[in-house]
Amino acid sequence: MSKFPNSRPMKTFILPTFGVLGFVIGSGYALAKTNYGDRKIGFLEEQIAKVGTGVQQAKLLLPAEAEKRATAAKVAEAESARAAELETQVAQIQERARAVTGRQKKVASAPTPGKKLGLGRTALTEEIAAWDVDVVPGGRGLPDGSGDVATGEEVFADKCASCHGDFAEGADNWPVLAGGFDTLGDADPVKTVGSYWPHLSTAWDYINRSMPFGEAGTLTANETYSIVAYILYSNDLVEDDFELNRDNFADFEMHNKDGFIFDDRPAIEYTRWRTEPCMKNCKAEVKVTMRSVFLVETPADGGTESVMNPASIDDLPTFSADGPSFVPVSAQDMDRQNNAVGAAQVIEETDPDAQLIATGKKIFRKCKSCHAVGEGAKNKAGPHLNNLIGRRMGSIEGFKYSSAFKLASKEERIWSEATLDKFLTEPKVYAKGTKMSFRGLKKEKDRIAIYEYLRQFE
């Protein structure tokens, strides 16, 4: 601003000056109106300082120019008066903004969400608690509880070993969770929880949130503590009498804790998002042409052949306060399942067979991540198990069996109570070379219950 040539007409000089003041007023007003809360105090102070500087500059410029242009003295006087008036307003706004920062403890309450559009409701405390499960480095967010290596070994064998191996070494191609310590510098490093992960909290949080695969959210806090203790043990990071709990969690230092650094080389994106975002050449108008949920469809049968959905926005379902104009298929399934559960519970009380089936259903949780049963069951990691008893082994169209099952199919072997029992006792012994990574059901009563359960799907 101070570089304005003196010879310019007054008009061009005044306008930019008020441009600054307009910005000053505008941002001051925005600051005053917004409820920033305590965290933003630093930011606010910075902004207010900027506002202050703007006022100073405007003040210095106006009288200086006015002196040099005697002919325009009157105009200048008026403008300077106006500037003073604006300055007072800015001061008032700053005062209000300061009140908002909480220095005067007068924080306005947040607006009631949902009121304006008549949509939604305030979330219940329980609902928030159910979502608010993140655990951060240092252990903040951990629930009460504890677990030792020995317990962890049992839980791991039961719920994790079918995919991750008895010693977390990884079965087949499922992820390896232990070892790889001296490979991080290799071209093909083995990145495990032990060798690679810098924070123990990531292991706790990830496992608690997402494992066992296909049954996320079923672990108790103590189970998760014990599993994490066992994974540390499998990585030779603790002794076999180690117990992990909320109190000693933060003290645990991971092998690779210093292995991550900020990549702030100028050529990469870090420097871009650390500076002011570019707001030039923006599109004038934003038009919604598609909703992402309808844009790409995950193939129903798995695989990588995702398809672009040809639907355009014209045919999309409408949404109102009563919900969407269609019921998603998954929600219908849920309804059906709930009804089925209700009915099953009624029978269970009276019929011993029904009790066995109910037990079988529980045990089937171990199979569920790889096998589907019931109406519309599709192949997953393993073939669907409808009509299993009496079915030829390895005979489901479109499923890629191991050569062990291809051979069994050729030999026309049949699934019966006896063959299923043998297979499930020790899958890898009964079907040598099978690609079913499952250690088997050791208890006979579990195998009987599974048989009774699977017989339902004929």
Alpha-carbon distances of 110 from 103, 186, 242, rounded to whole Å: 18, 53, 47
Q: How far apart are CA 222 and CA 228, in angstroms?
A: 10
164 lies in the site for ligand HEC, by CB under 6 A: yes
Residues 6+ apart with CB under 8 A from 412: 392
Alpha-carbon distances of 82 from 6, 18, 62, 74, 345, rounded to whole Å: 21, 10, 10, 12, 80
CB of 13 or CB of 196, closer to ligand HEC: 196
In angstroms, how far is the first alpha carbon of the chain from the final one?
Answer: 84
Using CB under 6 A, pick the residue from 62, 386, 401, 452 that binds ligand HEC.
401
Using CB under 6 A, pick the residue from 17, 162, 235, 386 that binds ligand HEC.
162
Alpha-carbon distances of 331 from 91, 338, 346, rounded to whole Å: 57, 11, 23
- Select the span of 14-22, 25-33, 90-98, 159-167 touching ligand HEC (CB under 6 A): 159-167
213 lies in the site for ligand HEC, by CB under 6 A: yes
- Select the span of 50-58, 130-138, 202-210, 302-310 touching ligand HEC (CB under 6 A): 202-210
Using CB under 6 A, pick the residue from 24, 436, 449, 452 that binds ligand HEC.
436
- Select the span of 233-241, 299-307, 329-337, 369-377 touching ligand HEC (CB under 6 A): 369-377
419 lies in the site for ligand HEC, by CB under 6 A: no
Q: Minimum distance between the CB of residue 182 and ligand HEC, rounded to whole angstroms?
A: 17
Cis check for the bond before 212: say yes or no (omega within 30 of 0).
Answer: yes
27 lies in the site for ligand HEC, by CB under 6 A: no
242 lies in the site for ligand HEC, by CB under 6 A: no
Q: How far apart are CA 236 and CA 226, in angstroms?
A: 15
Q: How far apart are CA 114 and CA 120, in angstroms?
A: 6
Q: Minimum distance between the CB of residue 141 and ligand HEC, rounded to whole angstroms?
A: 18
160 lies in the site for ligand HEC, by CB under 6 A: yes
Using CB under 6 A, pick the residue from 31, 76, 90, 159 that binds ligand HEC.
159
356 lies in the site for ligand HEC, by CB under 6 A: no
Q: How far apart are CA 206 and CA 220, in angstroms?
A: 13
193 lies in the site for ligand HEC, by CB under 6 A: yes
- Select the span of 70-78, 89-97, 305-313, 395-403 touching ligand HEC (CB under 6 A): 395-403
199 lies in the site for ligand HEC, by CB under 6 A: no
Torsions phi, psi for 202 (to 5 deg): -65, -40
86 lies in the site for ligand HEC, by CB under 6 A: no
- Select the span of 25-33, 64-72, 136-144, 363-371 touching ligand HEC (CB under 6 A): 363-371
Handedness of CA 95, 100, 101, 103 (dihedral sign): positive
Residues 6+ apart with CB under 8 A from 141: 132, 133, 134, 135, 201, 205
Alpha helices in 109-251 (DSSP H): 125-131, 149-159, 161-164, 200-210, 221-234, 246-249
394 lies in the site for ligand HEC, by CB under 6 A: yes
Of the candidates 43, 48, 41, 28, the one whose C-alpha atom is nearest the C-alpha of residue 90 is: 28
Q: How far apart are CA 124 and CA 110, in angstroms?
A: 17
382 lies in the site for ligand HEC, by CB under 6 A: yes
Q: How far apart are CA 450 and CA 448, in angstroms?
A: 5
Using CB under 6 A, pick the residue from 61, 232, 237, 424 that binds ligand HEC.
424
Q: Minimum distance between the CB of residue 380 and ligand HEC, rounded to whole angstroms?
A: 8
Q: How far apart are CA 103 and CA 95, in angstroms?
A: 10
CB of 58 or CB of 436, closer to ligand HEC: 436
163 lies in the site for ligand HEC, by CB under 6 A: yes
Q: Minimum distance between the CB of residue 304 and ligand HEC, rounded to whole angstroms?
A: 15
Using CB under 6 A, pick the residue from 174, 181, 294, 457 that binds ligand HEC.
174
- Select the span of 129-137, 210-218, 236-244, 276-284 touching ligand HEC (CB under 6 A): 210-218
- Do the Cβ atoms of 27 and 96 come closer than 8 Å? no
CB of 100 or CB of 193, closer to ligand HEC: 193
CB of 31 or CB of 227, closer to ligand HEC: 227
Which of the residues 271 through 290 are near ligand HEC (CB under 6 A)?
A: none
Alpha-carbon distances of 332 from 120, 338, 361, 365, rounded to whole Å: 22, 10, 21, 21
370 lies in the site for ligand HEC, by CB under 6 A: yes
- Do the Cβ atoms of 230 and 156 come closer than 8 Å? yes
Q: How far apart are CA 17 and CA 292, in angstroms?
A: 46
Q: How far apart are CA 120 and CA 129, in angstroms?
A: 18
Q: Minimum distance between the CB of residue 425 and ligand HEC, rounded to whole angstroms?
A: 11
183 lies in the site for ligand HEC, by CB under 6 A: no
Q: List residues binding ligand HEC (CB under 6 A).
A: 159-160, 162-164, 174-175, 177, 192-193, 203, 206-207, 211-214, 219, 227, 366-367, 369-371, 381-383, 385, 388, 393-394, 396, 401-402, 404-405, 420, 424, 434-438, 441, 450
